[in-house]
Chains A and B, each alone.
Chain A
């Protein structure tokens, strides 16, 4: 009997193969979104139904329809005051907090609003490419915290995107320069987007793009420049404070300011009309007025850049160039300010509005189709947990290369403690209250033991997306609790923007607070210890000794309440002296009883 024949399976069937190889790079910006994809070795910019590459990150609800991006400008005539702008900014405050957006009847969260934009982007990509797509790489501001990163990923996933990687925006831009311009060396990336400001220093060697340090401000961007300029115009030409304008007039004025700002890059004096409340107002504006209005913010970005350079441990002459990213970097005043501070060659030959998306598309292609290149990014802010006294213990320091796993052991604080709270924090300050809470969970079921005996292993893991997961294990009982940090924290924390700045400004203040807290922790621990040995005390000490000890405990407690470190240290010392003979006697007794115990055992 002849054997039955089986055909060789068809490898890489054409449609599925090409399907698999498309992975979109999405720059999901505060003001604009840009999508691109690598096809046949080149990055192609994806256009919307109007042929536009730049898609405004704007949403408008009208009747029962949703309009996104350029649809609004092209299709809608009235009701424009209900446009929803800059949704990405709300991620930094709280991506889960529901509120009324525009004229929509139901409350929505930033995640939901931006998923409408992602949905539209997906449609654009699919009709541009003529096929279904799902895989993508999304860029995020380097200085975005945990919650915001997770929320962006969630938002894209909601509409069927499979987010293969989150990439930091400046890193993505550097990747584009490295691959498209074959740039090599140490580069400064200055990224002033619509709503966020990032700086990163990267080392580009053969095929490896390593971030050395990063910094920024998640609340600072081109939008702020427009608003500052609008304020100036309101004061100078309307004799009004910007805040006193109606909501609609504010929108009109900011749009006008943005337009004038762009025009002033080509001309030094402008004569324009502004129509507000049906009145025509003549605006005669010079470049100098614009520059004065926005100078302060630009100076701030320069000082953040300087700090990031210092942290990278590189000297200025070791930097090979300054890469400009984001539409706002077209400002002449900005370029001259940068040149004033840094004597570096400036690169802006890849369109600053498109370069982030291009880098993302290149990285996306590398992920699905393989590449010789490698991106090594860092975590922008330190991560840690709360320890006794309201102090933050950093487990992963900022600017650590990711992915990273770090473990550290902690122990209990009080006699017989059976549970510990793992309070996860992000930020640079010593005191918990100045940092951002990412989440918390309780590890319980710890066997009651004296303080310092249990061993709790806390493990922090940051993946290549910059997303954190935390687990804690009681080593003695092997009880384990795990927690993945998600966006379920409902905390109002708006100090993020000033955290780093303040951490530098207040480090001496922090130090004093820390010293005070430490002395308080020591004192309370000592008092607790003595109180737990109450019966021993009564047995061993004389009435006089006991009196002395108790009065010192009272005085020490008072100093603790007064937050007086000197007093605490003073009485701590006195209490230590007063209990010295007690401890000696107690140790002797213990040894005795231990020996007795042994003898009995032997019997």
Chain B
């Protein structure tokens, strides 16, 4: 069970983390929470992004350091860390790859960076796309490829969601790696492709 949390100001105790003390209303010490817990979400891949954005803004409106200009240094520091945690967590949850990695971590599936990627099928698919990207020679082809990648990513994210629903974590992990490759490729095409002729 969770140990009780004690308010640093009035010593009121509560069981579940809250940003402000229910008694004295003072800002609480930040805890090391994962992105889902911070936003009080269940561990699931499917997220209502509109609702998340709304929640993120609502929390930032209370916790941003701008709201603590007249407060003590301690409160200001807590606000800064809370606000930073919210920024980090929001960004993690908005992007499907980082959200998936965070969820895998929460579910105990370690995602070591050093782990080598050995899914040949995926590797070939990515390499093929890379070759296509290298031979682009007009804006239209570039746009087409970006759109094509967008579609593939969308389909894969849908598949990823199903893996999580069926608790196929290993497959989810593999697919996440693939999507991250595709995202990177897409970004490279956007930024770096110049036409040869």
Contact = CB atoms under 8 A, between A and B. Distances in A.
A389 interface: no
A547 to B, nearest CB: 34
Contact of A367 (B66, B85, B190): B66
B61 A400 contact: no
Interface in A293-322: 310
Given A504-B191, A507-B192, A374 B65 contact: no
B54 to A, nearest CB: 9
Contacts of B191: 310, 504, 507
Given A207-B57, A400-B91, 5 more contacts: A402-B87, A403-B87, A461-B84, A504-B191, A508-B192
A344 interface: no
Contact of A404 (B64, B88, B190): B88
Interface string B160-194: 00000000000000000000000000000011100
Contacts of A405: 80-81, 84-85, 88
Contacts of A374: 57, 60-61, 64, 66
Interface in B77-100: 80-81, 83-85, 87-88, 90-91
B69 interface: yes
A405 B84 CA distance: 6
Nearest to B191: A504
A17 interface: no
A208 B192 contact: no
A507 B188 CA distance: 10
Nearest to A165: B66
Contacts of B87: 376, 400-404
A102 interface: no
Of the candidates A366, A370, A405, the one having the most CB atoms from chain B within 10 angstroms of its own CB is A405
B83 A403 contact: yes
B70 interface: yes
Contacts of B66: 165, 366-367, 374-375, 464
Contacts of A401: 87, 90-91
Contacts of A404: 84, 87-88
Identify the 3 closest CB pairs spanning chains A and B, nearest first. A405-B84, A401-B87, A464-B65
Contacts of A508: 192
Contacts of A463: 65, 80
Contacts of A366: 66
Contact of A464 (B61, B70, B80, B85): B80
Contacts of A164: 69
A244 interface: no
B33 to A, nearest CB: 14
A178 B191 CA distance: 31
Contacts, number: 62
Contact of B80 (A368, A370, A376, A403): A403
A208 B60 CA distance: 9
A372 interface: yes
A205 interface: yes
Interface in A142-176: 164-165
Of the candidates B65, B84, B88, B190, the one having the most CB atoms from chain A within 10 angstroms of its own CB is B84
A165 B83 CA distance: 16
A504 B192 contact: yes
A368 B65 contact: no
28 contacts: A205-B57, A208-B61, A310-B191, A367-B66, A367-B69, A370-B67, A374-B57, A374-B60, A374-B64, A374-B66, A375-B66, A376-B60, A400-B87, A403-B64, A403-B65, A403-B80, A403-B83, A404-B88, A405-B81, A405-B85, A406-B88, A461-B84, A464-B66, A464-B80, A464-B83, A504-B191, A504-B192, A507-B192
Interface residues of A, number: 27
A331 B80 CA distance: 41
Given A375-B66, A403-B80, A464-B80, A207 B61 contact: yes
Contacts of B61: 207-208, 372, 374
B120 to A, nearest CB: 23
Interface string A375-402: 1100000000000000000000000111
B140 to A, nearest CB: 16
Contacts of A367: 66, 69
Contacts of A372: 61
A402 B81 CA distance: 11
B135 to A, nearest CB: 16
Interface in A189-211: 205, 207-208
Interface string A391-427: 0000000001111111000000000000000000000
A217 to B, nearest CB: 18
Nearest to A378: B87
A138 to B, nearest CB: 14
A208 B88 CA distance: 18
B60 to A, nearest CB: 6
A406 B57 CA distance: 21
A507 B83 CA distance: 34
B151 to A, nearest CB: 16
A394 to B, nearest CB: 14
Contact of B190 (A165, A310, A370, A464): A310
Of the candidates A372, A464, A507, the one having the most CB atoms from chain B within 10 angstroms of its own CB is A464
Contact of A208 (B57, B85, B91): B57
Nearest to B81: A405
A437 to B, nearest CB: 25
A310 B57 CA distance: 24
Nearest to A364: B69
B84 A403 contact: yes
Nearest to B62: A374
Interface string A490-514: 0000000000000010011000000
A370 B69 CA distance: 9
Contacts of A310: 190-191
Contacts of A208: 57, 60-61
